[in-house]
């Protein structure tokens, strides 16, 4: 069975395509790529070898309006700019655990791979990636496993009760700005579950992992236009063309 790389896509087809092409240039293995498409304007339509698209553009698998409605006391102060993007991202990754139960490498749609990264697929660990101990702007200083490029041993994680999505530990779902549970960004509940379950679960933290990629930062929600994204891709075309 091929190993799988999963990408959550939201309205950035140029960035997503370039991310895949850059991965193909550096990867030593022939990964299957699964794109979970949450787009409401610019879905991923490019046909690419070894790439499967899961279409959620009309809420076929996750209806985010219905899911958000379950949390009427949610705190919008730090979530409106991205339209609760962290919540949607976290919930999508939890769904990917169901769809790819054998495990996966999660890769953000707005990264370009610079160096081989295959070493992060290491089944002796529950997860492998880069831990962010102190997230800038996080008022409760909740650490997380960065979702930019990380391996998740889904069978081991689920067997030990770990969760990627927990509504009590998810960005802005509860009432009150300073409620600690509101400051769990993407990958935070996962890291906490691993830490508290040690030694059954262990996370391998590679401090040098960011050397394997460059990150556009917030490509799917920042107020950047397509031309700015294309300009960034052109600047780094050697990584993906």
Percent of the chain as helix, strand, coil, to the nearest 5: 30, 15, 50
Domain assignment of residue 153, given as a range: 4-239
- pLDDT digit string (tens) for 49-72? 999 999 999 999 999 999 999 999
What pLDDT does residue 93 have? 98
> Is there a contact between 215 and 149 (Cβ–Cβ < 8 Å)?
no
First-to-last CA distance in the chain? Answer: 28
191: exposed, middle or buried (C-beta count within 10 Å: 0-12, 13-18, 19+)?
A: buried
Number of independent structural domains in the chain = 1
Total Cβ atoms within 10 A of residue 18: 26
Instruction: Report how far residue 47's alpha carbon sits from residue 40's, in angstroms, rounded to the nearest whole number.
Output: 19
- pLDDT at residue 219, rounded to an integer: 62
Phi and psi at 150, nearest 5°, equal -155, 150
- The CATH number of the domain holding residue 126 is 3.90.550
Whether this prediction's pTM lies above 0.85 is answered by yes
Residue 223 has what pLDDT?
57
Positions of the chain with pLDDT lower than 50, given as ranges: none
Q: Which residues contact 148 (CB under 8 A, 6 or more apart)?
A: 107, 108, 111, 129, 130, 210, 213, 215
Compute the distance between CA of residue 19 and CA of residue 105 in angstroms, rounded to an integer: 13
């Amino acid at each position: 069975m091929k190993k799988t790389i999963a990408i959550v896509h939201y309205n950035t087809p140029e960035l997503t395509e370039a991310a895949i092409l850059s991965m193909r240039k550096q990867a030593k293995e022939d990964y299957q790529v699964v794109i979970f498409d949450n787009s409401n304007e610019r879905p991923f339509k490019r046909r690419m070898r070894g790439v499967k698209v899961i279409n959620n553009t009309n809420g076929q698998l996750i209806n985010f309006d219905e899911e958000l409605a379950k949390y009427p006391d949610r705190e919008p102060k730090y979530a409106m700019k991205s339209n609760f993007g962290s919540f949607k991202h976290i919930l999508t990754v939890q769904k990917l655990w169901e769809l790819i139960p054998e495990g996966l490498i999660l890769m953000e749609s707005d990264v370009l791979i610079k160096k081989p990264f295959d070493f992060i697929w290491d089944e002796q660990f529950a997860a492998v990636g880069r831990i962010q101990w102190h997230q800038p702007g996080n008022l409760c200083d909740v650490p997380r496993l960065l979702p930019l490029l990380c391996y998740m041993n889904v069978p081991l994680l689920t067997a030990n009760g770990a969760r990627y999505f927990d509504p009590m530990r998810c960005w802005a779902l509860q009432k009150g700005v300073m409620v600690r549970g509101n400051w769990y960004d993407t990958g935070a509940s996962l890291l906490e579950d691993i830490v508290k379950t040690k030694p059954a679960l262990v996370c391998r933290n590679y401090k040098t992992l960011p050397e394997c990629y460059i990150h556009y930062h917030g490509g799917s929600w920042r107020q950047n236009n397509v031309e700015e994204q294309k300009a960034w891709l052109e600047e780094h075309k050697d990584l993906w063309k």
